[in-house]
Amino acid sequence: MEIKDLLQDRREVILKKWSHVLLQSYPEETSRFLRKEKDPFANPVGSAFMEGISGIYHSVLYGVDRDEVSPFLDRIIRIRAVQDFTPSEAIGFLFLLKKVIREELFDEVSRKGLNEELYLIESRIDDLTLIAFDIFMQCREKIYDLKASELRNMTYKLLERANLLKDFNDEANGDGSG
Amino acid sequence: MAKAKGKTPKPEELAKIDYSPPEKHWTEVPVELKPGTFCYGARPKYLEEVDFPNPRDWQPYEDDWKLPENWKDIVLEGMEDRLNKYRTFRLFMDICVRCGACADKCHFFIGSGDPKNMPVLRAELMRSVYRKYFTKAGKFFGKNAGARDLTMDVFKEWWYYFYQCTECRRCSVFCPYGIDTAEITIIGRELTNLLGCNTDWIAGPVANCYQKGNHLGLEPHTIQSNIEMMCDDIEEITSIRIEPTFNRKGAEILFVTPSGDLFGVPGVYTCMGYLMLFHELGLDYTWSTYASEGGNFGFFTSNEMAKRLYYKIYAEAKRLGVKWILGGECGHMWRLVHQYLDTWWGPADFLEVPKSPITGTVFENAKSTKMVHVVEFTADLIKHGKLKLDPSRNDHLRVTFHDSCNTSRGMGFFEEPRYVIKNVCNNFFEMPENTIREKTFCCGSGSGLNASENMEIRMRGGFPRANAVRHVNQKYGVNMLANVCAIDRAALTTLMQYWVPDVEVCGVHELVGNALVMTGEKERTMDLRLEDLPGKEEEEEDV
């Protein structure tokens, strides 16, 4: 038996526990709501988290493909990147999957001599965390970009109105050099 | 590889990070003002312009808010005054049974996960103080009766959360008692204004509007030249030259729209739609460069300030001698028109009950205020077959409609925009039922929160809306989010760029302008954004 079979068999339990520790990063009233409300439009955060961890778990089992897993990481990190979290808190939930897997499977893994495979699984989680870090930074950069863009658009319009801008094409047309 | 020996530390032991928030009673957790979640403090010049108290340089993140020594008395007297003046306020302070029906309905709670954004708890921030100073139980039993002292920490907490509520009223739809938490926020903001604690993003537009007639501070010649620039673009698209009039006495109709339509993208495309429609109808209307703002940021400071800013619309209607007023696509403008104007000034009897000069329809719903929403006006035109439309010009768009909080919950305006969109577009898709109509999710930036410095809170608050847009984007390929509000047009554009970058934002009259077949126009090859219509690209001229 391979560890991925074990992880596949215990998928439901592990995902439930992982989502539980993820939601523990919110106040009790909030985590209760995020856990219980099943309507994806009434509870978009809880729903995005479930969708995200399920896709991430798949790549933990079957290998990390950046393009494939990124949308799932994005579902969670895009939200946490604008909430009240430090960067480590925003992406630290991935490391907690190690904890959940060990708690759930460690004895069995030892008994069946699957430690090496467990290390492989944990290395995948490390890889995922690096990708998560990239996504977190992209989200934060986007936020700063949006802040700057709104201000720039406002200022640009004012300059345009005051005839203080010269159209790029005006210059390009008169410039014969190449 | 050798088997691991000894006890391997667990990941959370290595990281030593405690992810769980502290378990304390909410009254014992002072507010922490984190960058990205609040707007900058109002500059003194803006407060001075409208005679608001305590003008000074201050910032919310500074320890000292530079309040007068008797600040507590001012707030409590302000509360007492409003408890006596507004029966709703006293009622809403007394009747909540904390059933929790509203708790998970607020977009800010859903998006932030902060329990103090639950409407019930946001209101409790003020109720606890109300109990302490205005009820016997609270005076005698204090904390045991849910009462607490008004301290500087409490005041800062009020400020933080009352400027984190967009007054959208979604929570009130679910409250079995009909408690309108927006009204509590409104009073809360009035109280902060008694101490000069407003945001720059609100106070600036208020001062501009008072001085220049619109939030952006556009002067008459700028308004005129902006609209003329739009006419240049319309001429390029249609070959038709439109010559709108300004401040023309004796016109039948005065048209007032939010100034965002005159300046910002994509608002200007909506404005081009109005100009084309009115030209095609031959409507006897005029723009005013004085009553040049449909929105009213005064509403986000105090009832009196809102009243003070809005009177210019009627004053201008009287001065120009028009018969009635047509209003542009705006959100809170229509909540004010629908719910406040009659209380402020009673029926506007110097005007006539609005009657469409094209269809003869009398707008009975506006017989007191004499103001008609342009989407109602257009829906009526379409219903009577008065417009020649080619919806295929919008075939490159797959459209959904965002109900603005104020037009939906503030005036029950659901069908008209959908009717118009379905007549000018072939591809229309609804978002899920619990995110539209009276249950619509706010854009997250209403009520003066559409500044840039509080981007994180805007993205949190707008997430439930964006999530529903994402759904129709993935399911139906929706690429355009239509709406009837100027703040929506600006704020949703940014919101989409973060959450659903494939989707753009437009006003309903931009779609109307695209589809409108105008008399004598050339064959359209561009939409109102001056972008090529698919399949109609102009062939490049031979060189």
Q: How far away is chain B from the Cα of A1, in angstroms, using its nearest Cα?
A: 18
Q: What is the pLDDT of residue A177?
A: 35
pLDDT digits (tens, 9 = 90+) for B287-299: 999 999 999 999 9
The answer, yes or no, to whether residue A102 has pLDDT greater than 90, is yes
The answer, yes or no, to whether residue B1 has pLDDT greater than 60, is no
Distance separating alpha carbons of residues B244 and B285, to the nearest angstrom: 8
Instruction: Indicate whether A25 belongs to any domain.
Output: yes
Among chain A residues, the shortest Cα distance to B260 is held by: A154
Q: Residue ranges per domain, chain B?
A: 28-198, 204-515
- In this complex, is the C-beta atom of A27 within 8 Å of any C-beta atom belonging to chain B? yes
Q: Which two tokens stand for residue B531?
A: 């972008």
Instruction: Indicate whether A152 belongs to any domain.
Output: yes
Band (pLDDT 50/70/90 cuts) for residue B300 is very high
Instruction: Indicate whether A15 belongs to any domain.
Output: yes
Cβ contact, residue pair B265, A26, below 8 Å: no
Which residues fall within 8 angstroms of residue B327, CB to CB, at 6 or more apart?
B255, B256, B257, B294, B333, B334, B337, B371, B372, B373, B374
Q: What is the pLDDT of residue B18?
A: 58
- In this complex, is the C-beta atom of B35 within 8 Å of any C-beta atom belonging to chain A? no
Count how many domains chain A has.
1
pLDDT digits (tens, 9 = 90+) for B220-273: 998 999 999 999 999 999 999 999 999 999 999 999 999 999 988 899 999 999
Q: How far away is chain A from the Cα of B40, in angstroms, using its nearest Cα?
A: 14
- In this complex, is the C-beta atom of B149 within 8 Å of any C-beta atom belonging to chain A? no
User: 3-state SS of chain A: helix, strand, coil percent to 5?
Assistant: 80, 0, 20
Among chain A residues, the shortest Cα distance to B36 is held by: A82
Instruction: Indicate whether A155 belongs to any domain.
Output: yes
Does the predicted interface ipTM exceed a cut of 0.90?
yes
Instruction: Indicate whether A75 belongs to any domain.
Output: yes
Report A:41-100 residues touching B (Cβ under 8 A).
41-45, 47-48, 78-79, 82-84, 88-89, 92-93, 95-96, 98-99
Distance separating alpha carbons of residues A53 and A46, to the nearest angstrom: 11
Interface test with B, best of A17, A20, A21, A29 (most B CBs within 10 A): A29
Note the pTM of the prediction, 2 decimals: 0.93
Q: What is the pLDDT of residue A173?
A: 46
- What does pLDDT average to over chain B? 94
Q: What is the residue range of A93's domain? A: 3-165
Q: How far away is chain B from the Cα of A136, in angstroms, using its nearest Cα?
A: 13
Distance separating alpha carbons of residues B205 and B219, to the nearest angstrom: 14
Poorest-pLDDT segment among B82-86, B264-268, B299-303: B264-268
Cβ contact, residue pair A157, B263, below 8 Å: yes
Band (pLDDT 50/70/90 cuts) for residue B374 is very high
- In this complex, is the C-beta atom of B432 within 8 Å of any C-beta atom belonging to chain A? yes
Q: Name the residue facing B452 among A89, A147, A157 (closest C-beta).
A: A147
Cβ contact, residue pair A24, B36, below 8 Å: no
Domain B28-198 CATH (choose: 1.10.10, 2.60.40, 3.30.70, 1.10.1060): 1.10.1060
Instruction: Indicate whether A171 belongs to any domain.
Output: no
Q: What is the pLDDT of residue B35?
A: 87
Instruction: Indicate whether A45 belongs to any domain.
Output: yes
Distance separating alpha carbons of residues B194 and B78, to the nearest angstrom: 8
Poorest-pLDDT segment among A1-10, B25-34, B119-128, B399-408: B25-34
pLDDT digits (tens, 9 = 90+) for B54-77: 999 999 999 999 999 999 999 999
Instruction: Indicate whether A80 belongs to any domain.
Output: yes
Hey, what amino acid is at B476? Y
Domain of residue A63, CATH code = 1.10.490
